[in-house]
Chain A
Amino acid sequence: MNIVENFDLYAPRLVTKKELFCAGHRACQGCGEVLAVRLMCKALGENTVIASATGCMEIVSSLYPSTAWEVPWIHVAFENAAAVASGVEAGLKALRKKGRIDDRYIKVVGMAGDGGTMDIGLQALSGAMERGHDMLFVCFDNEAYMNTGIQRSSGTPMGASTTTAPAGKISYGQKTWKKNMPEIMVAHNIPYVATACPSYPLDFIRKVEKAKKIKGPSYIHCFSVCPTGWRSPSHLTIALGRLVVETGIFPLYEVENGKYKISAEMPKKLKPIKDYFKTQGRFRHLGEAEIEMIQKRVNSEYDKLLDKVKCLKAWN
C-alpha cells in the first residue's frame, strides 16, 4: 500500500493549525467535500470573503442562528455564486479605492458544487471569468446533485447510477460523458486553472495558495468523494480520491497562462478503473463491456491531456 507516495510524511504538521471552518458542521460522516472546504480555508487564510452557492456545503454550514464559517461568507442562491463573488470583488475594490475600508488584500472566492458550477451556475461563472474579476472559483465536484438526493448532473460520470439516471433492466445509469469543466475554464483564457483532490492535501493547498496570489480570475476543480451519494464506505473517502487520480479518471494538472502541467502526484502507470469502481455502489451494476468502454475513454482522454502538455511545449 502506497498511501504516503509523493507525500512528505511529516508535512501535515507544517500546515497551519488555524481552522476557519469549524467543527459542528452537519456534513455526512466521511464527507470528502467538507474536508476539501476545510483545507481550502486553511490555504486561503482569514483575509478571504467566500460567496457560496446553494448546496450541501451551504446547508451543512449555515443553519440559522449559527455558522461554521470564521471568514466572511455569503450565500444568495444556487446559480449565482460567481456573480455574487464578482459583486463582492467590485464592492471591496470600490470601497478600498475610496479609503472606506482598510488597505489589506482580500481574496474573494466563489464556491459551488458540480451542479452549481457546471449546470445551473455555468453562465454566471463564464461571465465572471470573462470579465476578469480578481477572484478564485472552486468547484467541489461530487458528481451529482447530492443535496437534493443524488440526481444526475453534467458532472456525473458515464455508467453511474443516480436517482434520475438509475440503472435498470434496460439501462446502465448515466449515458453521457462527464462534462470537461476545467477545459471550459481554460477556454476562458484565465491565468490559472487546476484540478485537485483533498486526498492529496498538500497539492490541493499549494494550488489554492497559488490561485490566491493571482490578481485575476482563477479556477480550481476539486474532486470531492461523496460516500452517501456513491454508496461507498465512509472510511474509504481518501482512498477513493487517490484511486480516481491513480486510474487517470480524474488527473491532477494545472494550466498556467495556457500551459499545461501534469501534477507530480500523477503515477507513471495508471491503475485499471475497475480498482476504483469496485467499492462504489453507484457502479456495481456495470458489466465487463461497459467497464471496457469507459476504460477506453479514460485512456484516450488521458492521452489527450498528455498531448496537450507536449503540443504546448512544442508551441513554446
Chain B
Amino acid sequence: MTKKKEPDTWQEITTGCVVFQPGSASEYHTGSWRAQRPVWNNQKCIKCGICYIFCPEGCIQQSEDGFFQANMDYCKGCGICAHECWPRAIAMMEEG
C-alpha cells in the first residue's frame, strides 16, 4: 500500500471532495497484486505492439530499441500479453 497522502483532517478535505490531481491513482502500485510476471524474449519479439495495446493496465511501454516491457509497479500479471503475443515472445513466470 502507498502511504496515506494529504488530506487528513476534515479541514483539509478538498471543496466538494474534488480530486485536483489528474492521474494521481498512479501513486498506488498494483504490482503487488501479481502472482506471475511476463518475461519478454526479445529474440522472438517482432516489435508489433500487440502486448502494448491489449494491456488493461496500460503499463507496457516501448523502449528506445523498439522492444517492449511492462512496468512492474503496475503489472497485475493477468497474462493477456503472453497469450496474445503472436510470435510467442512473452512467457509468464511465477513470482518469488
Contact = CB atoms under 8 A, between A and B. Distances in A.
Q: Do chains A and B make direct contact within the complex (CB under 8 angstroms)?
A: yes
Interface of A: 3-4, 9-13, 15, 19, 21-27, 29-32, 34-35, 38-39, 61-71, 198, 201, 227, 233-239
A63 B25 CA distance: 8
Contact of B58 (A11, A38, A234, A237): A38
B22 A67 contact: yes
B48 to A, nearest CB: 5
Interface residues of B, number: 44
Nearest to A66: B24
Interface of B: 5-7, 14, 17, 19, 21-30, 33, 46-50, 52-59, 62, 71, 73-74, 76-80, 82-84, 86, 92
B82 A67 contact: no
A32 B56 contact: yes
Contacts of B74: 23-24
- Which of A27, A34, A38, A238 neighbours the largest number of chain B CB atoms within 10 Å of its CB? A238
Contacts of A66: 5, 19, 21, 24-25, 27-28
Contacts of B53: 12, 15, 39, 201
A148 B80 CA distance: 25
B30 A23 contact: yes
Contact of B79 (A10, A11, A70, A235): A235
B78 A234 contact: yes
A109 B71 CA distance: 30
Contacts of B29: 24
Contacts of B27: 24, 66
